[in-house]
Amino acid sequence: MSLILVAILVIAALFIVWGVGLYNALVRLKHGVGKAWANIDVLLKQRHEELPKLVDTCKQYMQYEQGVLESVIGARNAVHQAKEAHDLGALGQAETGLRSGLGKLFALAENYPELKANENFQFLQQRIASLESAIADRRELYNEAVNLNNVRIEQFPDVLIARWFGFAAAELLRFSEAETADVNIRNLFG
C-alpha cells in the first residue's frame, strides 16, 4: 500500500468520525428540546387538572362572577387545544389569557372573605401559583434548549450535517406582549 493511499484512508476515517460525532451532538440537542418540552407538558397537565377544582370551589361563593369563572375554563381549554395541536404560538396566547383570567379570579376572591378562608381554595391557589412558577422556570429551560439547537444547526460546518439529515429548527415558547409588558401600578389602585 502506498503512503498516499494510507493518508487518504486516515483522512477519510477522521472525516467519518468527525461527521458521526457532529451528528450525535445534533441528535442530543434535538432530544434535549423534546425533554425540555416534556417537562413543561407535565406541569401543564397538572395545572389542567387543578383548574376545574378551583373553579368549582369558587362557584360556591362567587355567584355573581360567572363571566370570570367561564373565562378561566375557556382559557384552560384553549391551552389544552394548543398544546395538543403542538402550536406554540397559540399556546403562548392561550397561556397569556389563562394567566390573565387567573389573576382576575384571585383578585376577585379578595372580595369574598369566606372563599379566602376556605382551606380547599387556599390549597388550590397555592398549588396553581406553584405550578405557574414551575412552568415559567421550565419555559426558560425549554427556550434555552431551543436556542442551543437552533444556533447549532445554523453554524458552519454543523449546518451541512443538519441539512443533510433534516434537522429542523424548533420554535420558542413565547407569551404575548401583554404578558411581558410593564404593569401600570397606578391603574391597579385607581
The average pLDDT across 46-74 equals 85
3-class secondary structure for the chain?
Answer: CCHHHHHHHHHHHHHHHHHHHHHHHHHHHHHHHHHHHHHHHHHHHHHHHHHHHHHHHHHCCCCCCHHHHHHHHHHHHHHHHHHHCCCHHHHHHHHHHHHHHHHHHHHHHCCCHHHHHCHHHHHHHHHHHHHHHHHHHHHHHHHHHHHHHHHHHHCCCHHHHHHHHCCCCCCCCCCCHHHHCCCCHHHHHC
The whole-number pLDDT of residue 179 equals: 47
9 pLDDT higher than 60: yes
Range of lowest pLDDT (34-48, 55-69, 74-88, 153-167): 55-69
- pLDDT tens digits along 89-119: 888 888 888 888 888 888 888 888 888 888 8
- pLDDT band of residue 176 (cuts 50, 70, 90) is low
189 pLDDT higher than 70: no
Within its chain, how far is the Cα of 4 from the centroid?
A: 54
177 pLDDT higher than 60: no
The whole-number pLDDT of residue 147 equals: 93
**C-alpha cell at position 90:** 397559540
CATH class of this structure's domain 3-189 = mainly alpha
The whole-number pLDDT of residue 70 equals: 86
Nearest partner of 56 among 102, 126, 120, 132, judged by Cα: 120
Provide the percentage of residues in the chain whose pLDDT is more than 90: 39
Q: Give me the sign of the Cα torsion angle 73, 79, 82, 85.
A: negative
The whole-number pLDDT of residue 18 equals: 92
The pTM is what?
Answer: 0.75
Kindly report the number of other CB atoms within 10 A of residue 72's CB atom.
Answer: 22
